[in-house]
Amino acid sequence: MLKTKSEEKIAPVMAAYGRFPITIEKGKGSYVWDSEGTKYLDFTAGIAVLALGHVPDAVEEALKKQLDTLWHCSNLYHIAPQEKLAEKLTGLTCCDQAFFCNSGAEANEGAIKLARRYANLVLGKPEGHIVTFNHSFHGRTLATMTATAQEKIQSGFGPLVPGFKYLSYNDDASVQAIIDDEDCIAVMLEMVQGEGGVIPADKTWVQKLAAASKDKGIPLIVDEVQTGMGRTGTLFAYEQYGIEPDILTVAKALGSGIPIGAFLAKKHVSELFTPGTHGSTFGGNPFSTTAGVATIEAFEKQDVLAQCLKNAKYLTQKLNDLKEKYAKKLTAVRGLGLLLGVETAAPAIDVVNELREKHHVLILTAGKHVLRILPPLVTNEAEIDQFITAFDDVLKEQ
């Protein structure tokens, strides 16, 4: 017999998110409007999703056309925009093939599966483990949550998936540990640990890590779910480090807000995914991949990467000026491109709340004492000045 619902009156949406007390109903460019009609400067970009800002014209136009033709047909058939997007992504990266899914967690899950398949069929190490790094974040599926070396993310969900080992980020001892580890089958890392406090990887360390992986013949997986699609000033952050991943993941900004993810790989790894080894009902559907194609084409036509670098230089200088002005309240400014973190002496959430409530400016945290600032890549100096003026006012009153 079916159980009846609880008689207790509860919200119909599960309380898995700590939500801010506003309802967003409209967005355009760098701004959103709530249900009361209040306008906010959005320097969260949907958590690094809206590289082109809210509802970018070029992507909107392409999606309206696609709505009139085809939404879904499954991967049992060839899908023209999917193949076009794969061609664009492989042409812009060191990878040879792409697999499309629906999110960053799925992209990382697929990358882990591909690395495990390589370990089984090529390395002959089915019991080996993948190395990830302390304070990383790779997703919230069981496998990607286990890959995420943060106890607060894993707590209450055991037993965790076996086959992962954690080492210290930006630490040469970790490179030597990988060299000495006969059971290491892959290395997985972020170029900037976003959720972990906006910590960029050290270039020399990454190059040593890549060299160690190559010497051992194991795949190097670079998680660019957050850093990909121009967020750091290059299309993918790994380009700034002088390395080439064997497996690369991307999601967030790829579809300008339409859910899409992908993992890409070099041929010697990707060829191990043959029919029946992996799949997705919705992954790479005509609508999401049309968004991806339109997003990349907008990047090219609008020279978005140049805009990002210009805006990043201006915003970083303004933040450093505030750090100098409020030396006891701000202790560090770090990041790459427009993925920026500001370390605060006071709880970061207090700054977030005051900016929202008093100045109608939206930013995020990345830990208890780090502000995460993620404007659209196409923001402008006037919008940056608006943010800096509000931030200055909040710091003045603390």
- Measured over the CA atoms of residue 319, residue 320, residue 323 and residue 324, the dihedral's sign is negative
pTM to 2 decimal places: 0.96
Q: Which two tokens stand for residue 118?
A: 């390589």
Per-residue pLDDT of the chain (398 residues; tens, 9 = 90+): 566 666 778 899 999 999 999 999 999 999 999 999 999 999 999 999 999 999 999 999 999 999 999 999 999 999 999 999 999 999 999 999 999 999 999 999 999 999 999 999 999 999 999 999 999 999 999 999 999 999 999 999 999 999 999 999 999 999 999 999 999 999 999 999 999 999 999 999 999 999 999 999 999 999 999 999 999 999 999 999 999 999 999 999 999 999 999 999 999 999 999 999 999 999 999 999 999 999 999 999 999 999 999 999 999 999 999 999 999 999 999 999 999 999 999 999 999 999 999 999 999 999 999 999 999 999 999 999 999 999 999 999 98
In the chain, what is the straight-line distance between the N-terminal and C-terminal CA atoms, in Å?
58
256 touches 59 (CB < 8 A): yes
